[in-house]
Amino acid sequence: MLRLRSSILARILSSSPASPIPFPHHRLISAAAPAVSPNPGFAAEEYLVATCGLSRAQALEASRKLSHVKSPTNPDAVLSFLAGLGLSSTDVTALVAKDPKFLCTGVERTLAPILAGLTGLGLSPSEITRLASLAPVCFRCRSIVSKAHYYLPVFGSFQSFLRVCSLNLLSSDLEKVVKPNVAFLQEECGLGVCDLASLCHHMPWILATKPERVRAMAARAESLGVPPSSGMFKEALQAVSFLSEEKIAVRVKYLKKMFRWSDAEVGIAVCKAPMVLARSKDILQSKSEFLISEVGLEPAYIAHRPGMLGLSLEGRLRPRYYVLKFLKEKGLIRSDRDYFSAVVPSEKVFAKKYIYPHKDAAPHLAQDYADACRGQVPTRFRFA
């Protein structure tokens, strides 16, 4: 069981260009000379504390899943495997706390073949280590190899795969659930590799959802006036993911009332920024009051630029309005300078365009703007 020096594990690691990371935890059993307890009994709680580094509370909870273990032999072998793989003591402690049954996995029968299979797919030792730490329950199932083989080209890279990796995704039925969803999203909705990775980053459960539900979501997204060919289709799917047709109708009605939009205007806004349907009513209320009552924007103006409704009121919309108004009142910029063009740029671009050019005429502007972003409106920004 413990012949790791001559096992598949040792051969793979020794042939890898990246050497395994030393495993410094002094309490762990060494791969070269694992300790064998003369006591035929196995005190799981004590083992988890003394050997795996779990807290007493963690060990008490985890030990209930190891009640059938009678000897430390297999847990020792698993710890040796993890040490050879390159997991740090902290990583091992976290892994065991997350999935105590990992200690029951057969090394030669299961873990070593999994390691060989993942290495054969081109994953480096560090990538395999990250996968084991992220999803230990799935990692100890040999199907992880075939699933990784499928998912890697779907998401384009290991990094993209790792960003959307979840227990639901790795444990879902590939043939009956995942593959039909991927085929539908790619072939009928026109989503490419990057699109799919982006969608799954925000909705990691979507590929593990029943195919009929995914199709229904796509239909609701299209009903908003967002065709699959649109660059906003991914956002539309997110917006309607937890909304029925009835709830969508209620939210559309609320938006019309809140922003004084006509049917055509609310249609334009939702089509351009579908996530407006998912915004909190309180947040939308405060933005409506600010943009219409304080800034003085027309409802049609907002409808054609709904992206601003996704920006922070206190962190961007309000502070930048203060800067713009200040500069206009001081005659430092034209009075017809567009508000939307000032809130869209990044902080770096905004500062370059609206702050730095006026450092001589308005030396306190940079600090005043920074204070405003923190909710502290300076006296110089208070307009009578």
C-beta separation of 350 from 295 below 8 A? no
Residue 6's pLDDT band, with cuts at 50, 70 and 90, is very low
pLDDT at 17 > cutoff 80: no
Domain shared by 324 and 276, yes or no: no
Q: Quick one: 14 and 115 in the same domain?
A: yes
Provide φ and ψ at 25, rounded to 5°.
-60, 115
Q: What is the average pLDDT value for the chain, to the nearest integer?
A: 87
Nearest to 325, CA basis, from 288, 360, 362: 362
Do 319 and 305 lie in one domain? The reply is no
Same domain, 51 and 73: yes
Per-residue pLDDT averaged across 254-280, rounded? Answer: 95
301 & 370 share domain: no
Q: Are residues 303 and 334 in the same domain?
A: no
The answer to whether residue 373 is domain-embedded is yes
> How far is residue 181's CA from residue 186's CA, in Å, rounded to a whole number?
8
pLDDT tens digits, 135-153: 899 999 999 999 999 999 9
What is the mean predicted confidence (pLDDT) over 16-40? 40
Structural domain boundaries enclosing 52: 1-140
> How far apart are alpha carbons 126 and 20 in whole angstroms?
8
Which among 44, 66, 68 is positioned nearest to 56, based on CA atoms? 44
Work out the average pLDDT over 246-268.
95
Are residues 50 and 108 both part of a single domain? yes
Residue 204 has a pLDDT of: 84
For residues 260 and 132, membership in a common domain is answered with: no
Looking at 118, 140, 162, which one is the last position of a domain?
A: 140
Alpha helices by DSSP H, 273-306: 281-288, 299-303
* Per-residue pLDDT at 170: 85
- Residues above pLDDT 70, as percent of the chain: 88
Is 288 contained in some domain?
Answer: yes
User: Is 369 inside a domain boundary?
Assistant: yes
Please say which residue of 294, 310, 326 terminates a domain: 310
Q: Is residue 208 part of a domain?
A: no
Mean pLDDT of 178-188: 94
Tens digit of pLDDT for each residue in 290-340? 999 999 999 999 999 999 999 999 999 999 999 999 999 999 999 999 999
Residue 366 lies in a domain: yes
Q: How far is Cα 340 from Cα 343, in angstroms, rounded to an integer?
A: 5
Phi/psi of residue 305, nearest 5 degrees:
-135, 55
Q: Who's near 139: CB < 8 A, 6+ residues apart?
A: 102, 114, 131, 132
**pLDDT for 216 beyond 80:** yes
- Residue 39: pLDDT band (50, 70, 90) is very low
- Of the chain, the percentage scoring pLDDT greater than 90 comes to 73
Same domain (yes/no): 56, 5: yes
- Give per-residue pLDDT as tens, 56-108: 999 999 999 999 999 999 999 999 999 998 899 999 999 999 999 999 999 99
| Residue 180 covered by a domain | no
290 and 318 housed in the same domain: no
Number of domains in the chain: 3
**330 assigned to some structural domain:** yes
Confidence of residue 13 (pLDDT cuts 50, 70, 90): very low
Quote the pLDDT of residue 383: 57
Residue showing tokens 């908003």: 224
- Tell me the pLDDT band of 40, cut-offs 50, 70 and 90: low
pLDDT at 22 over 70: no
Confidence of residue 160 (pLDDT cuts 50, 70, 90): confident
Boundary residue ending a domain (122, 140, 158): 140
pLDDT at 345 over 70: yes
pLDDT at residue 375, rounded to an integer: 86
Same-domain status, 317 and 333: yes
Q: How far apart are CA 67 and CA 45, in angstroms?
A: 10
Q: Residues 267, 375: one domain?
A: no
Is 133 a member of any domain? yes
